């Protein structure tokens, strides 16, 4: 891909914007269309664009599959952990009212954390799927 | 703090295995630790399910509002005597199979895939428990997909290359089944505008769109029928059971079809109601006809198999026939016999598949030819297989006898004596296929592979024998199983009035 100058320059310009937009969709999910799933997919697509232009090896060095596996698990753990926290605070499972002093704050915080968990898991799972389809795993 | 948690047991029942699944991935570098975590999680689940059953039996049904949203709007977890009983079956089997997994998985799964295997196992358990405990029709579909997807993964991890094709075959069939269920639930939602099971049941009598209701019912029965391997829809099952890793087969064979039967009971009796199912539509006749066909063909085909796991898989198709027969009768006694057989069949098939797993651990094959003479080399495993096999046949003092006895009574009560003869005929066929294994393993001259085999390690024998002894214990002390099955059958039938 070394001689595709236009492609490389455009991709370099676009990738940070895509990632930023993903974060916008993530953190604005409560107010506007969006949320964890969409943000995760957009984030992953930014990195997949990078992998398409600059090669899989570089991408895998920046985001190794082992780290992504742990990230995909930690997103689920964050989601379920918020539920567990509400249980320990005295509410029902995933009843966000108990997370903060006022129910409104609690709902904000709860949805924010849960969607963050969804976003992390979706982004890392998407990348793992992409790695699985494009790369040839050693030893198979 | 633990005192307040006792009200949250319905949520914890699903959350404990759910959280242990990602933890397995995080701890992937220490396979031993992953195993200990899963054993602990399954034992915790068993403790929770026993406490839930106890609460239900003493104080009546429990309703739990997820996220604090009240029932018809939010997702409700509802535990009554029917699903508390099924949850006990699932967690009970899981807490015996997971200790068994320790040695078995180490011998069958590549080391870098072990953590993945346990993750899928715990997700499968999560899905099965969620399907059983939820009171929300759409939630049933979601958990069904969780359990199915993890099952496809589990099956594909078998050592035999054919595991991949059988997992794919199951994936295609399972997805069709799941879609049918979703379409059925969608139609119910169109008619009633709600997804909560109790709420649907309350609004259906006023429904005017009877044709939509009947279509919904047909979709649900066919979809769930695929999942529970009802006779002509059972083709995915033999390969899936035969080529999956031993641990996965033991868990799936003992629990997955049982949970699907529970879903069928729930939709037929609680949601749609037996009047629509049995009087407006010929569900009883169809279920009984398919049950008898499945019972006979399953047992008959099992006789001609060369792979012991396939023998047991076809026998599962036949045993599902017994359960469906009880449900098709739609009497209190018939339902009781069907529900009783859910528990008893889980015990015997779990024990049988675990004994076969022990053989596989030492011999590396489950073909009848390779198992010749193995009985003399592995006497304890062989004895376990024989006792569980006797239970499958229905010999007195085993659980198999208890459920056959109740089923016979139920058919004779209705005057269907040809059916009673068929049940006895099915038992005779079971004698034939179990005898084929016994003959090869005990009387055959040892095969090359069996010659160097020695007794399975204690880590495999103890869980296997636990289930074998449970087969005998619940064959003698029937108060718990028969009592709860009776209560569950009456709960289901009371829903009409």
Longest dimension (CA), chain A: 61
Q: Please, are residues B75 and B69 in contact by the beta-carbon 8 Å criterion?
A: yes
Q: Tens digits of per-residue pLDDT, A92-113?
A: 888 888 888 888 888 888 988 9
Q: Please, are residues B133 and B13 in contact by the beta-carbon 8 Å criterion?
A: yes
Q: A73 and B23: CB-CB below 8 Å?
A: yes
Helix axes B332-363, B458-476, angle to 10 degrees: 160
Q: B67 and A92: CB-CB below 8 Å?
A: yes
CA B144 – CA B163 distance, rounded (Å): 21
Nearest-by-CA chain A residue for B27: A70
Interface test with A, best of B2, B5, B8, B37 (most A CBs within 10 A): B8
Residue A19 is assigned to a structural domain of this protein: yes
Across B280-292, average pLDDT = 92
Residue B41 has pLDDT above 70, yes or no: yes
pLDDT score, position B446: 84
Domain containing A104 equals 5-134
CA B328 – CA B325 distance, rounded (Å): 5
The stretches of B113-267 forming alpha helices (DSSP H) are 114-133, 137-156, 162-192, 197-203, 210-228, 236-243, 246-265
> Considering only A29-33, B62-66, B117-121, B357-361, which range has the smallest mean pLDDT?
A29-33
Residue B414 has pLDDT above 70, yes or no: yes
Nearest-by-CA chain A residue for B68: A95
Residue A139 has pLDDT above 60, yes or no: no
CA A24 – CA B123 distance, rounded (Å): 32
Residue A99 is assigned to a structural domain of this protein: yes
Task: Give B68's contacts in chain A (Cβ within 8 Å).
Answer: 91-92, 94-95, 97
Q: How many separate domains does chain A show?
A: 1
Residue A26 is assigned to a structural domain of this protein: yes
CA A39 – CA A123 distance, rounded (Å): 8
Q: Tens digits of per-residue pLDDT, B384-401?
A: 999 999 999 999 999 999
Residue A126 is assigned to a structural domain of this protein: yes
Q: B25 and A72: CB-CB below 8 Å?
A: yes
Residue A139 is assigned to a structural domain of this protein: no
Mean pLDDT estimate for chain A: 89
Classify residue B168 by burial, with Cβ atoms within 10 Å: 0-12, 13-18, 19+: middle
pLDDT score, position B1: 47
> Considering only B4-8, B362-366, B423-427, B474-478, which range has the smallest mean pLDDT?
B4-8
- Please calculate the CA angle B53-B59-B62 and round it to the nearest 5 degrees: 65
Q: Tens digits of per-residue pLDDT, B56-96?
A: 999 989 999 988 888 888 899 999 999 999 999 999 999 99
- The candidate with the shortest Cα–Cα distance to B321, out of B344, B343, B355, B296, is B296
Interface test with B, best of A81, A87, A97, A122 (most B CBs within 10 A): A87
Q: Tens digits of per-residue pLDDT, A30-52?
A: 777 778 899 999 999 999 999 99
Q: B11 and A93: CB-CB below 8 Å?
A: yes
Across B99-111, average pLDDT = 89
Half-sphere exposure of B417 (CA within 13 A, CB side): 0
Residue A140 is assigned to a structural domain of this protein: no
Instruction: Say whether B134 sits in a helix, a strand or coil.
Output: strand
B64 pairs with which residues across the strands? B77
pTM: 0.93
B80-to-B122, B268, B295, B488 alpha-carbon distances in Å: 24, 16, 30, 8
Residue B271 has pLDDT above 70, yes or no: yes
CA B448 – CA A30 distance, rounded (Å): 67
Q: By percentage, how much of chain B surpasses pLDDT 70?
A: 99
Q: A87 and B23: CB-CB below 8 Å?
A: no
Cβ density class B292-312: b for 16+ within 10 Å, e for less: bebbbbbbebbeebebbbbbb
Q: How far apart are the first and last CA of chain B?
A: 41
pLDDT score, position A117: 94
pLDDT score, position B330: 85
pLDDT score, position B497: 45
Asked if B371 is an interface residue toward chain A (Cβ–Cβ < 8 A), one would say: no
Q: How many Cβ contacts (< 8 angstroms) between chains A and B?
A: 57
CA B67 – CA B74 distance, rounded (Å): 8
Q: Tens digits of per-residue pLDDT, B237-259?
A: 999 999 999 999 999 999 999 99
Nearest-by-CA chain A residue for B66: A93
A140 pLDDT band (50/70/90 cuts)?
very low
Q: Tens digits of per-residue pLDDT, B123-163?
A: 999 999 999 999 999 999 999 999 999 999 999 998 888 99
pLDDT score, position B495: 62
């Amino acid at each position: 891909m070394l001689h595709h100058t236009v492609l490389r320059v455009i991709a370099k310009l676009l990738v940070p914007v895509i990632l930023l937009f993903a974060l916008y969709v993530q953190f604005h999910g409560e107010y506007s269309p969006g949320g964890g799933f969409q943000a995760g997919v957009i984030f992953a697509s930014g990195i997949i664009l990078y992998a398409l232009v600059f090669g899989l090896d570089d991408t895998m060095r920046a985001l190794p599959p082992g780290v992504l596996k742990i990230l995909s698990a930690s997103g689920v753990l964050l989601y379920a952990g918020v539920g567990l926290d509400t249980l320990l605070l005295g509410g029902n499972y995933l009843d966000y009212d108990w997370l903060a002093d006022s129910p409104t704050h609690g709902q904000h915080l709860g949805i924010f954390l849960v969607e963050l968990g969804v976003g992390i898991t979706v982004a890392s799972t998407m990348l793992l799927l992409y790695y699985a389809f494009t790369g040839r795993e050693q030893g198979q | 703090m633990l005192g307040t948690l006792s009200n949250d047991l319905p949520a914890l029942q699903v959350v404990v295995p759910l959280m242990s699944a990602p933890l397995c991935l995080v701890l992937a570098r220490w396979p031993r630790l992953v195993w200990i975590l899963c054993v602990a999680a399954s034992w915790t689940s068993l403790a929770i399910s026993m406490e839930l059953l106890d609460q239900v039996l003493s104080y009546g049904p429990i309703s739990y509002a997820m996220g604090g949203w009240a029932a018809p709007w939010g997702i409700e977890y509802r535990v009554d005597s029917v699903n508390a009983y099924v949850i006990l079956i699932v967690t009970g089997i899981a807490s015996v199979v997971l200790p068994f997994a320790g040695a078995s998985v180490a011998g069958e799964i590549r080391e870098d895939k072990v953590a993945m295997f346990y993750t899928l196992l715990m997700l499968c358990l999560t899905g099965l428990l969620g399907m059983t405990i939820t009171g929300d029709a759409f939630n049933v579909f979601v958990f069904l997909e969780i359990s199915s997807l993890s099952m496809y993964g589990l099956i594909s991890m078998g050592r035999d290359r054919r595991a991949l094709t059988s997992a794919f075959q199951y994936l295609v069939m399972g997805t069709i089944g799941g879609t049918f269920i979703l379409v059925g639930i969608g139609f119910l939602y169109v008619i009633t505008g709600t997804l909560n099971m109790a709420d649907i049941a309350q609004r259906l009598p006023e429904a005017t769109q009877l044709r939509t209701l009947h279509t919904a019912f047909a979709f649900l029965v066919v979809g769930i029928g695929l999942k529970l391997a009802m006779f002509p829809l059972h083709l995915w099952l033999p390969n899936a059971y035969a080529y999956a890793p031993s641990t996965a087969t033991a868990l799936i064979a003992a629990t997955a079809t049982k949970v699907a039967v529970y879903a069928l009971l729930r939709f037929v009796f609680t949601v749609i109601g037996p009047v629509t199912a049995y009087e407006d539509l010929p569900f009883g006749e169809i279920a009984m006809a398919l049950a008898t066909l499945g019972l006979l063909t399953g047992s008959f085909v099992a006789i001609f198999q060369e792979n012991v796991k396939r023998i047991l898989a076809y026998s599962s198709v036949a045993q599902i026939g017994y359960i469906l027969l009880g449900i098709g009768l739609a009497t209190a006694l018939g339902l009781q016999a069907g529900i009783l057989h859910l528990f008893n069949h889980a015990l015997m098939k779990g024990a049988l598949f675990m004994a076969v797993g022990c053989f596989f651990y030492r011999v590396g094959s489950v073909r009848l030819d390779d198992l010749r003479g193995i009985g003399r080399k592995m006497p304890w495993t062989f004895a376990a297989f024989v006792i569980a096999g006797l239970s499958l046949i229905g010999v007195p003092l085993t659980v198999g006898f208890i459920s056959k006895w109740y089923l016979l009574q139920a058919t004779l009560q209705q005057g269907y004596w040809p059916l009673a003869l068929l049940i006895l005929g099915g038992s005779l066929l079971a004698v034939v296929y179990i005898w084929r294994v016994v003959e090869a393993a005990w009387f055959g001259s040892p095969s090359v592979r069996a010659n160097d085999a020695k007794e399975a390690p204690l880590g495999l024998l103890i869980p296997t024998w636990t289930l074998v002894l449970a087969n005998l214990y619940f064959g003698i002390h029937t108060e718990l199983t028969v009592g709860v099955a009776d209560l569950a059958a009456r709960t289901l039938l009371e829903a009409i009035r």
